Amino acid sequence: MASKTNFRGSFTALVTPFKNGSLDEAAFRALVSWQIAEGTHGLVPVGTTGESPTLSHDEHNRVVEWCIDEAKGRVPVIAGAGSNSTKEAIELAQHAEKAGADAALVVTPYYNKPTQEGLYQHFKAINDAIGIPVIIYNIPPRSVIDMSVDTMKRLFELKNIAGVKDATASMVRVSQQRAAMGEDFNQLSGEDATVLGYMAHGGHGCISVTSNVAPRLCSEFHLAWQKGDHATALKLHDKLMPLHTNLFIESNPAPVKYALSLLGKMDEKLRLPMVPVSEPTRVAVRSAMVHAGLIN
């Protein structure tokens, strides 16, 4: 019997707070609790936004454990578990399962540039090594490669492949994937700015960067959509749109960490090669937060 997921709504791609060069556990746990209190429907630790490339494996595993422990089953946790090394991805996914994650988010292998057959074999090896659902993370702008719909269809025949975090920003792809895999294939947007169109084409939710900063508004957007209140969803989307765009003026997660520092949630610390945002970006992020009613 294939693993199926029914993830719906706003899932936050959590940032990883740092202090004095180390993980800031207190700030991370406080962020998780605040997210849940504000109505976030699910949490995604140690993805791209969580600066996973610069965390050690031990740090990566600890962040996953803290997230699951702090969530206490109140919302599902999709643990980041990707790598461009299949062996490493399997180890991270096995840890996520052992820690109690509801699913593993596995990115298409970056830098190596595998073929479609290589992608299939990579995800099949992870599928075969664990017993929890796998969400494919397809993000061509960062990984260079784009998993085809045909490859996704092949993978969806496996026991644990359950859906996709789609960061292609293509509305066409949502419909193509629905046609190929059907409604049971769990489609989550990985692109905040196009989420309204993504949902209109049949998407189920969003793994969001913006919801780090505006969890309640992002949650309300999805709840309005689910109720068929498209007018309210559009108003909320318009309110959030400057954030959806301005949080990506410079490379994520530098702008969102600055935004969170303005809310007093954590220090604006990143790990090299990520650096704090420039003054023009600060002005743009502050303006977007004012537009959304998050700060005065």
User: For residue 2, what pLDDT is reported?
Assistant: 57
Catalytic residue among 4, 120, 165, 198: 165
Q: What does the domain layout of the chain look like in residue ranges? A: 9-228
Decide if 153 is catalytic: no
**Domain 9-228 grouped into CATH 2.40.30.170:** no
Summarised one tens digit per residue, pLDDT across range 118-133 is 999 999 999 999 999 9
**What's the average model confidence in pLDDT over 62-72?**
98
Residue 49 annotated as binding site: yes
pLDDT > 70 fraction of the chain, expressed in percent and rounded: 99
CB 58, CB 46: distance < 8 Å: no
Mean pLDDT calculated for residue range 256-282: 98
Q: Which of 98, 110, 111, 137 is catalytic?
A: 137
Share of the chain above pLDDT 90, in %: 99
pLDDT digit string (tens) for 132-147? Answer: 999 999 999 999 999 9
Mean pLDDT of the chain: 97
Is the per-residue pLDDT at 243 higher than 90? Answer: yes
pLDDT in tens, 178-214: 999 999 999 999 999 999 999 999 999 999 999 999 9
Does 245 carry a binding-site annotation?
Answer: no
Q: What is the mean pLDDT of residues 251-256?
A: 98
Asked if pLDDT for residue 230 goes beyond 60, the answer is yes
Question: pLDDT of 47-60, one tens digit each?
Answer: 999 999 999 999 99
- The answer, yes or no, to whether residue 1 has pLDDT greater than 50, is no
The mean-pLDDT minimum among 2-6, 18-22, 81-85, 289-293 falls in: 2-6
* pTM of the complete model: 0.97
Asked about 198 being catalytic, the answer comes back as no
Grade residue 86 by pLDDT with cuts at 50, 70 and 90.
very high
